[in-house]
Amino acid sequence: MAEHAVVIGAGIVGAACAASLARLGHRVTVIEAGPVGGGATAAGMGHLVVMDDSPAQLALTSRSLELWAELAPRLPVAADYRTCGTLWVASDAEELAGILPKQAAYRTAGRAAGVLDAAELARIEPELRGGLCGGLRVPGDGVVYAPVAARFLLEHSGAALVRARVVNLAERKVRLDNGQTLAAEWVVVAGGAGASELLPDLPLRSRQGHLLITERGGPQVRHQLIELGYLKSAHASDADSVAFNVQPRPSGQLLIGSSRQFGRVSKEPDWPLLRRMLARAADYLPGLRRASALRIWTGQRSATPDHLPIIGPHPDRPGIYLALGHEGLGITAALGTAEVLAADLGGPASPLSAHDFGLRRFERQAVHA
Amino acid sequence: MTALETDLLIIGAGPAGLSAALSAAQGGAAVLLADLGPGPGGQIWRGAKASDGGESGTLLRGVQRQPNITALYGAQVALSERGPQGGHAVQFSTPQGPRRVLAQKIILASGATERFLPFPGWTLPGVVGAGGLQAMVKSGLDVRGARVLVAGSGPLLLAVAAGMRAAGAEVVGVAEQASPTRLLGFGLAAQRGGKVGEAAKLLWALRGVPYWPATYPVEASGGERLTQVELGGLTRRTLECDWLAAGFGLVPDTRLAALFGCALEGGAVKVGAWQQTSQPGIYAAGELTGIGGVDKARLEGSMAGYTATGQVERLRDLPTQLEQARHFQASLSRSFALRPSLRTLPAAGTLICRCEDVPHAALQACPSWTEAKLQTRCGMGTCQGRVCGPAAETLYGWTFTGVRPPLLPLPLADLLGE
Ligand SMILES: Cc1cc2nc3c(=O)[nH]c(=O)nc-3n(C[C@H](O)[C@H](O)[C@H](O)COP(=O)(O)OP(=O)(O)OC[C@H]3O[C@@H](n4cnc5c(N)ncnc54)[C@H](O)[C@@H]3O)c2cc1C
Ligand SMILES: Cc1cc2nc3c(=O)[nH]c(=O)nc-3n(C[C@H](O)[C@H](O)[C@H](O)COP(=O)(O)OP(=O)(O)OC[C@H]3O[C@@H](n4cnc5c(N)ncnc54)[C@H](O)[C@@H]3O)c2cc1C
């Protein structure tokens, strides 16, 4: 008989998990307090990007990109899926020196990556400022409009959608704010930043980001452009940071990021930080000064101490499965996450099972630290 | 970018903003009065001059005589942030470039917009908002000899019809969706509210023009532009015309207040007894706190002007007068309540959001405004849902939320302050 599984959250991660559970033959109920795809999923940039900060991250993101490519032909047009590729831009010798190891890492993960010298960089992206040192082109990376992808995954899973807030998690049971209680063999917590309210002990912190979309008519670029200094500036510390990160939309608009900031949760932009972010973007892409800002918003990334998501059964709470803490990569990693879930629940094996995404790892890390 | 500093910034120079400026300035505060239009007046007194007779002239002369009121016209709010020394820093876009205003307190007086309900053919050239056509004529559009049909709901229809006639148009009729009994209720309320003179003047100006109650536009058609309109309801007929001026009542324009983070209630800015909003130091007056016309706007403006500058001793019987004006406001919304059948006017393919080409069918599948925005891009265009937001509230019962800065497209160079 089909077992009942409940998924908390209809963001991109919850929707992907619902699709996975349904494929395993579970009867699935997704519980969502707000709009489908309306949390971090709506705020994100939708860059599908392979990242290599750690072997686990490289495995998760590169496997997820394969899964996105498999899904792509079925996605609705409005999901705006495209493989525009990523162009990592080096502005100095130090960043340039990081290119070859990065290329090697991508190749071990089976992802193509081509090194460009300064002249080639200027030829394929002529709007970039002069004086840059070179770049790494990762042609298999892409973009997707995640709210539509989330809705698609949810609808095609056949899962029932309940519009309510989960107020309590008990063993194999959830209680909703409408008074209802649902029993389930598995409760998958994919509530993004909201998961902390249900499970306050999770090591999650919100890391706010800003995005700006331009009107049509700005400079034309072909790839998602990111500075290689991104790794230095954005991930390294807890301080507020900005990095050049620009995405061309199919409409001819540009999406401009990125900023990272702990300890601030507000819909109101942090204007000084936003200006820093824009100044950085305009430094790399001077033509941006000609563009007009159409809309500015903030969003919350839910981050763990090691910047990797938590995917796996809760070690102390039977029947609870965690799929959260994806920080700035949850749209990319949603499909890989759902594959790990399936493998853990008796579905087909996943190459990702070789890596440790479980909650227990933080205890081990604390012991070894 | 240099900044203008002021004690009080008033955004909107219609009846509410002008009254607020005058009251505030009486106490000696430095007042900056800003409006996106080329001069003062707002919707009702657009283009008014200090030399005019009547209420508007008196008010404008009063404002002009106050040395501590500075006016900034052609200035549209783009964004607002916390000021360097507390208060607010508001950035305006003007034809001369960006302007930054540092203000301790702010009064929002941004007025109303007209609700437009979509029906098949509404996107044809020649179909316009009723207030929109009125504004176009005031700015020089020649309608002499043109056949104009006025349709929709509310007292504004009569004002527009009279205005078109005065400008030389042939008004082929006025279709009002409200039923005759409800209209009678409004007539009585107007009588109690002392509005009989105004109404009589309008009716005299419109003598001979057919007036069809419980009637509304069902479809507009034509080739390149509008040639005919089919009416439904009590009076069913098809009319040839050059313009269809349609409007289904006014709604508070809350986008500016939403940008400032002010709480809304029932589609209007929520204010306390002293016109204060949920945001400290920010007040609201006029149509944006609830549609009530020029008298309510003036009284609320005075109230906000006094309270924002600590002159409560000058309020006198303002609170009582305001209560009466708001009474009238309540009867207005009862009389012109929109009939549910208007929700069935759009066909599956009728566009609701024109900026992003979103049809009715796509929106019917969504449970809320936010989800509709995310899934269909409805309201994501430049205007931030100015037209489709109020329409969607009526058609689907949603709450229109989620305004994001900037309020108008802003050159990145201006945003960077270069
Ligand atoms: C500025 C910014 C840029 C980003 N750019 C990218 C990018 O380019 N590429 C990328 O891969 N990722 C990016 N991300 C990260 C990505 O957006 C997130 O990692 C991802 O969306 C997380 O998805 P989720 O489904 O886990 O969370 P969410 O989308 O937040 O979904 C969680 C859902 O759970 C619901 N929920 C929570 N608690 C409850 C409850 N108790 N009951 C019922 N429902 C509940 C919420 O309402 C919400 O809808 C970015 C993030 C930000 C903020
Ligand atoms: C289209 C239309 C036509 C109308 N015609 C009539 C009529 O003929 N007769 C009648 O009695 N009533 C009419 N009204 C009703 C009118 O709202 C009130 O009579 C009265 O004008 C309300 O005064 P107010 O000060 O609240 O708002 P308004 O008079 O509307 O003044 C608001 C002012 O704020 C400015 N503003 C708005 N947003 C911004 C921004 N972001 N930045 C800078 N400035 C901003 C606007 O330019 C405007 O001048 C009309 C309303 C509308 C919407």
Strand A292-303 and strand A310-313: the pairing is: unpaired
Encoded amino acid at A85, one letter: G
**Protein residue whose Cα sits closest to atom 33 of ligand 2:** B12
Q: What pLDDT score does A94 carry? A: 92
Q: What pLDDT score does A235 carry? A: 52
Domain-located, residue A73: no
For the Cβ of A335 lying below 6 angstroms from any atom of ligand 1, the answer is no
Same domain, A356 and A232: no
Q: Which residues of chain A have pLDDT under 50?
A: 1
Element (H, E) at B352: strand B351-353
Domain-located, residue A198: yes
Domain-located, residue A158: yes
Domain-located, residue A170: yes
Same domain, A20 and A99: no
Q: What is the B109 CA–ligand 2 centroid distance (Å)?
A: 9
Residue of A227, A255, A25 lying closest to A129 (CA atoms): A227
- Ligand 2 binding site (Cβ under 6 Å of any ligand atom): B 11-17, 34-37, 42-44, 76-77, 109-114, 131, 134, 156, 159, 250, 256, 286-287, 293-294, 297, 407
Domain that holds residue A95: 86-139+205-302
Q: What pLDDT score does B183 carry? A: 83
Same domain, A324 and A222: no
Domain-located, residue A69: no
Q: What pLDDT score does A1 carry? A: 45
For the Cβ of A311 lying below 6 angstroms from any atom of ligand 1, the answer is no
Q: End of a domain among A302, A323, A346?
A: A302
Domain-located, residue A263: yes
Residue A269 C-alpha, separation from nearest chain B C-alpha, in angstroms = 9
Residue B258 C-alpha, separation from nearest chain A C-alpha, in angstroms = 11
Same domain, A357 and A211: no
Q: Which residue has the tokens 């309201």?
A: B379
Q: What is the B269 CA–ligand 2 centroid distance (Å)?
A: 15
Residue A114 CB-half CA count within 13 A: 10
Average pLDDT over residues B178-189: 82
| Structural domains counted in chain A | 2
Q: What pLDDT score does B46 carry? A: 87
CB contact under 8 A, B374 and A42: yes
Handedness of CA A8, A10, A14, A18 (dihedral sign): positive
Same domain, A178 and A198: yes
Q: What pLDDT score does B58 carry? A: 96
Instruction: Enumerate residues 105 to 144 of chain A having a beta carbon within 8 A of any beta carbon in chain B.
Output: none
Rounded distance between C-alpha atoms, residue A100 and residue A136, angstroms? 9
CB contact under 8 A, A214 and B412: yes
Pocket of ligand 1, candidates A31, A45, A266: which has the most ligand atoms within 8 Å of its Cβ, to mutate? Answer: A45
Cis peptide preceding A76, ω within 30 of 0: no
- Ligand closest to Cα of A322 equals 1
Look up residue B385 and give its two tokens: 């849902």
* Strand, helix or coil for residue A321: strand
Same domain, A213 and A195: no
Same domain, A248 and A123: yes
Q: End of a domain among A302, A320, A347?
A: A302
What is the tens place of the pLDDT at every residue in B318-359?
A: 999 999 888 877 888 888 999 999 999 999 999 999 999 999
Query: Domains in chain B, start-ordered, CATH in brackets?
Result: 2-113+252-314 (3.50.50.60), 116-248 (3.50.50.60), 346-418 (no CATH)
Minimum CA–CA partner of B381 in chain A: A294
Give contacts of A279 with chain B, Cβ < 8 Å: 416
Same domain, A243 and A340: no
Q: Is A291 on the interface with B (CB under 8 A)?
A: yes
Minimum CA–CA partner of B91 in chain A: A271
Rounded distance between C-alpha atoms, residue A18 and residue A151, angstroms? 11
Q: What pLDDT score does A237 carry? A: 73
- What dihedral do alpha carbons A283, A289, A295, A298 form, nearest 10°? 20
Q: Is B370 on the interface with A (CB under 8 A)?
A: yes
CATH number at residue A359: 3.50.50.60
Q: Where are the alpha helices (DSSP H) in chain A?
A: 12-23, 40-43, 55-71, 93-97, 99-108, 118-124, 146-157, 195-198, 229-230, 271-284, 330-344, 361-368
- Ligand closest to Cα of B288 equals 2
Give contacts of B367 with chain A, Cβ < 8 Å: 35, 163
Minimum CA–CA partner of B367 in chain A: A35
CB contact under 8 A, B409 and A279: no
Return the number of other C-beta atoms located less than 10 Å from residue A159's C-beta: 25
A61-75, B78-92, B188-202 — most confident range: A61-75
What is the tens place of the pLDDT at every residue in A214-262?
A: 999 899 999 999 999 876 665 567 889 999 999 999 889 999 999 999 9
Residue A35 sits at the vertex; the CA angle it makes with A254 and B78, to the nearest 5 degrees, is 45
Q: Is A148 on the interface with B (CB under 8 A)?
A: yes
Residue B59 CB-half CA count within 13 A: 25
* Strand, helix or coil for residue A247: strand
CB contact under 8 A, A37 and B261: no
Same domain, A236 and A283: yes
Q: What pLDDT score does A233 carry? A: 60
Residue of B78, B165, B385, B72 lying closest to A269 (CA atoms): B78
Q: Which residue has the tokens 């205003």?
A: B101
Q: End of a domain among A282, A302, A322?
A: A302
Give Cα B286 to chain centroid, integer Å: 10
Give contacts of B417 with chain A, Cβ < 8 Å: 275
Domain-located, residue A60: no
Q: Is B374 on the interface with A (CB under 8 A)?
A: yes
Same domain, A214 and A192: no
Look up residue B25 and give its two tokens: 């300035």
Average pLDDT over residues B6-19: 98
Rounded distance between C-alpha atoms, residue A154 and residue A76, angstroms? 13
Beta bridge partners of B252: B112
Whether B32 contacts B129, CB under 8 Å = no
Among A127, A163, A273, A296, most B C-beta atoms within 10 A, so best to mutate, is: A296
Domain-located, residue A288: yes
Same domain, A161 and A103: no
For the Cβ of A336 lying below 6 angstroms from any atom of ligand 1, the answer is no
CATH number at residue A119: 3.30.9.10
Average pLDDT, chain B: 93
Average pLDDT over residues B405-410: 94
- Ligand closest to Cα of A329 equals 1
Q: Tell me whether 0.85 is exceeded by the ipTM.
A: yes
Taking the CA of residue B75 as reference, the ligand 2 atom at the shortest distance is 43
CB contact under 8 A, A163 and B413: no
Furthest CA-CA distance within chain B: 63
Same domain, A135 and A212: yes
Q: Is B405 on the interface with A (CB under 8 A)?
A: yes
Q: What is the B47 CA–ligand 2 centroid distance (Å)?
A: 12
Q: What is the A6 CA–ligand 1 centroid distance (Å)?
A: 18
For the Cβ of A9 lying below 6 angstroms from any atom of ligand 1, the answer is yes
**Protein residue whose Cα sits closest to atom 15 of ligand 2:** B293
Look up residue A93 and give its two tokens: 């010798």
Q: What pLDDT score does A2 carry? A: 63
Return the number of other C-beta atoms located less than 10 Å from residue B399's C-beta: 14
Q: What per-residue string of b and e applies to B380-392 under the rule 16 or more CB within 10 Å gives b?
A: bbebbbbbbbbbb
What is the tens place of the pLDDT at every residue in B256-279?
A: 999 999 999 989 999 999 999 999
- Ligand closest to Cα of B245 equals 2
Rounded distance between C-alpha atoms, residue B14 and residue B45, angstroms? 7
Residue of B104, B92, B73 lying closest to B5 (CA atoms): B104
